[in-house]
Chain A
Amino acid sequence: MAHNEHIVSSYEDELTNLQSAISEMGGMVEQSITESVTALLRLDHTRAQEVRAFDKRVDEMQQRINDMAVSIIARRQPMAADLRMVVTSIQVANDLERTGDMAKQLAKRALQIESLSLAPKFYNGVKHMADLVARQLKAALDAYAGRNAEAAVDVCNRDNEVDAMHTSLFRELLTYMMEDPRNITQCTHLLFCTKSLERVGDHATNVAEAAYYLQTGRHLSADELLRQHS
């Protein structure tokens, strides 16, 4: 719902700053994921190093958001939607930080895979999943920023797809490993990567749930999901 300006403009500014910080952190993390996936698929070591270094900034961002939230609670005693916004921002920042860690993991993997390149048939599936997960993350963050409950529900529903894709990729990589023992190293690495991506998907879902809670004040229940799905 559209909200009016706060009477105390400094309070309004603080809330806006908090919201912007979340968006900013979201952007940073989205970029991290994209970059780490690219680094992985291209085995670009430079990029991977950059992603690893970047994670420190993401962590700082989370701490900053935490501090801002605590400060607002202590000084402003926020109520209702403001309270939900502040509390969910802590949760979202936490999820985003974990996502950032996942990106770092991917980058580490990229550095560990000792070869010059990955076979396309290996990384296609991973790329596909990465795209899906990246889209989920973006959609969740958009739903959070835009306070769009419906979009949030969509994201939660589509988590099934992510899980399904993870399962199929798992089987695929297993097949490749059984075909040729020389593939085992790469495919194992890629297995771990898909796991990380699946976790990113879960975090995105968390963000979407937070968006739903922020907007409606209720927790997303199974019934709600069902209703949307049908």
Chain B
Amino acid sequence: MIEESLTVANAPTAAAAPPAAREIGKVRGRNVNVFYGEKQALFDVNLDIERNQVTSLIGPSGCGKSTFLRCINRMNDTIPICRVTGEILLDGEDIYNPDIDVVELRARVGMVFQKPNPFPKSIFENVAYGPRIHGMAQDKNELEEIVISSIRRAGLWAEVKDRLAEPGTSLSGGQQQRLCIARAIATKPEVLLMDEPCSALDPIATAVIEELIDELRENFTIVIVTHSMQQAARVSQKTAFFHLGKLIEEGGTEDIFTNPKHKQTQDYITGRIG
């Protein structure tokens, strides 16, 4: 709930060497341990997220996949009893370094949540809010450009182009989720985190979002947590299987789903009790 500082957006981060080109958009987790008070939720997780790919995190409930996801944009900071050790490198620099401004980090790492949560504002305002607070537009026209391109990218333009002033909450579930995606990509992040984005949607809306994820893959690194293995199989190139806080197996999606190496993985994806 509390942040350590009420820093204004655009506060300068610690001066660092520009990241190597191949590191841009790449997330590396090194020996990540997460504690909720006394209880440990993640045990020594080492996972690389490749750039411009979709990586899916799968596993039974309570296995730590959402916890790991929320570490990447430091959303766990909002929980007072949560403690994170280890490193998570974005573009080669550790985001848990005290010099990193968490507000700026969240402009670079966007997040889409399980239940669509557009702001109770107009559609335009929803998408414009991020760029506005991060000072990304010099004038109204630029802002409008950013908003419209984000909405286009999210595949929502045709449906909302003549009702940008209507409240975001007047859209259907699937549209709202796409609005949330548009909102997240409006800040031009490098990484897009998605926490079960389709679990509240019907199959058609889900398919639309999966198509969208496929298109977004070209420009963003995407990490998606999902309960549906079929979705993970459809949508991702790399899959990581978590169980009881440990990373059991990770690899190419095809390999994991046709020929996993670990029995636990096999049992989980075929639906057998461990």
Contact = CB atoms under 8 A, between A and B. Distances in A.
Given A1-B263, A217-B258, A81 B271 contact: no
B271 A80 contact: no
B266 A7 contact: no
Contacts of A3: 272
Contacts of B259: 80, 84, 217-218
Interface in A182-230: 217-218
Contacts of A78: 270
A5 B229 CA distance: 19
A79 B273 contact: no
Contact of B230 (A5, A77, A81, A82): A77
A83 interface: yes
B263 A79 contact: no
Given A77-B230, A80-B266, A4 B257 contact: no
B215 interface: no
A77 B269 CA distance: 10
Nearest to A2: B263
A80 B258 contact: yes
B144 interface: no
B257 A80 contact: yes
A176 interface: no
Interface residues of B, number: 16
A81 B263 contact: no
A79 B272 contact: no
B193 to A, nearest CB: 25
Contacts, number: 42
A5 B258 contact: no
Nearest to B233: A79
Q: Which of B229, B230, B271 counts the most A-chain CB atoms under 10 A from its CB?
A: B271
B267 interface: yes
Given A217-B258, A217-B259, A79 B267 contact: no
A62 B233 CA distance: 30
A6 B271 contact: yes
Interface in A72-127: 77-84
Contacts of B173: none
Nearest to A76: B271
A7 B260 CA distance: 19
B170 to A, nearest CB: 35
20 contacts: A1-B263, A4-B272, A5-B273, A6-B271, A7-B273, A11-B271, A79-B229, A79-B258, A79-B270, A80-B257, A80-B260, A80-B266, A80-B269, A82-B270, A83-B257, A83-B258, A84-B258, A84-B259, A217-B259, A218-B259
Lowest 9 CB-CB distances: which A-B pairs, in order?
A217-B259, A79-B269, A4-B272, A79-B270, A82-B270, A79-B257, A7-B271, A80-B266, A77-B230
Given A5-B273, A79-B258, A80-B258, 8 more contacts: A4-B273, A4-B274, A5-B272, A6-B271, A80-B257, A80-B266, A217-B258, A218-B259
